Amino acid sequence: MNTYAMALCGLITILLIRYWLQRWRNQSYRGKLPPGSMGWPLLGETIQFFSPYTTFDISPFVKERMNRYGPVFKTSLVGRPIVISTDPELNHLVFQQEGKLFKSSYPETFKEIFGKENVAELDGYMYKYLKALVLRLFGPENLKVTMLQDMEKMSRDRLSLWSRESSIELKDKISAMIFDLTTKKLIGYDASSESEDLRSNFAAFITGLISFPVNVPGTAYHKCLQGRKKAIKVLERILAERMKSPTKECKDFFDCIVEELNGEKPVLTVAIALDLIFVLLFASFETTSLALTLAVKLLTDHPKVLEKLKEEHDGIIMSRENPDSGITWKEYKSMSFTFQVINETVRLANIVPGIFRKTLKDIQINGYTIPAGWGIMVCPPAVHLNPEIYKDPLSFNPWRWKDKPELSGGTKHFMVFGGGMRFCVGSDFSKLQMAVFLHCLVTKYRWKAIRGGNIIRTPGLGFPDGFHLQVLPQA
């Protein structure tokens, strides 16, 4: 009898699990859901999404589902139902209908990493307020007046140091260079005079930023959260010191934050301020250093592109009255082929593999319904690597951008910096940093690749073996 009862209970359990799985994978809503699979309950298709691959191509996860279901399909990632869009028209709609049909909303794991009050989660007046605040640092006027000269000096100094070494790992060196510049501008941080190594905390943070979200000691995700915790402690200490002794003028971005916090009716809170600084520090150096490292790798592999780039920058120097004078804003804006190289590099880099939004109401798209509250992930790589948009999309061909107007905002076919009202406020900073560094590199130095340079995507871009090279002064 006991055996019979146990067998019956087991059968009922199996049937219930099957019913649960059936309901999970075939959820019913008003209207017809996009095609796709929800995977396993809670886990969804998260493991497949984070599976590494080593090409510039669209991720196998996305590509397989595009072939099976079409340009728009449903899935579940880290317990959240999500529709992935590889359709330029739908992507454009998502960006243009920010605050009406969609709002910025990232998975809970991203909120844990970047903070509950991070700028990506804020909208309306608060988002516009923070954007205006950030433009004090990354806006065109400040880039033109101070950043350009600071970037050139930093690039020249670091290249001079690197040329004395037999080998450098380029990604690490560029990351350190940009981090030192941005931390000085953002929070007045000088690594040489600080007892705490802020960059090492960010390095730990970055290793697990786009990794499988299991918060267990030893995992990349756990190290990521620990890196954030330590970095926030450093920022809290610096902010507390500034709050005690505020200055009358904004020498750096933290001074501006303190000025806002000490106002009569402050809009900012300390939590929002810390999350904002944290995101800015990450975004300003990590994404740009990845793009610059890839640019040098691609130039190494394509000597004709390097020759044309060098020709442009040598021409700039030859046209000066004083060849040793610094880069002017007019010279920067004249670097047409450099912008082509930058556009092509970031198109292939696809550093941001997905841009997340949430539906505010049921959305009807091509006969399908995306339910209110569901996530939607715009997939830039699927657009940037679409052969119907870019001929031979996996090839590095800066000439494809010739005679095209400078891209100062996102378009249906180019969204490396996002689009709509949330177009990245740091895009001009990144392009300026890349152009200035490349100018200093190709006019004064040559280099030899030693080892590494291979890429991996998880799905974010990485260099698992680094990119080691020797920097040599030009003869």
Enumerate the H helices of 218-269 as residue ranges. Answer: 220-244, 253-261
Quote the pLDDT of residue 278: 87
Length of the chain: 475
CA distance 231 to 237: 10
Quote the pLDDT of residue 91: 95
Quote the pLDDT of residue 69: 97
Rounded to 10 degrees, what is the CA torsion of 33, 35, 41, 45? -140
User: For a pLDDT cut of 70, what percent of the chain falls above it?
Assistant: 89
CA distance 397 to 347: 11
Specify which residues 72 forms β-bridges with. Answer: 85
Quote the pLDDT of residue 15: 47
CA distance 211 to 118: 19
Structural domains in the chain, sorted by start: 31-473 (1.10.630.10)
Quote the pLDDT of residue 113: 79
Which of the residues in the chain have pLDDT under 70? 1-30, 192-196, 204-212, 405-410
Q: Record the pTM.
A: 0.90
The reply, when asked if residue 424 is annotated as ligand binding, is yes
Evaluate whether 94 touches 378 at the Cβ level (below 8 Å). Answer: yes
Instruction: Kindly state the tokens that stand for 230.
Output: 């330590």
Quote the pLDDT of residue 82: 95
For 61-80, the pLDDT digits (tens) are 999 999 999 999 999 998 88
Quote the pLDDT of residue 19: 43
CA distance 127 to 109: 21
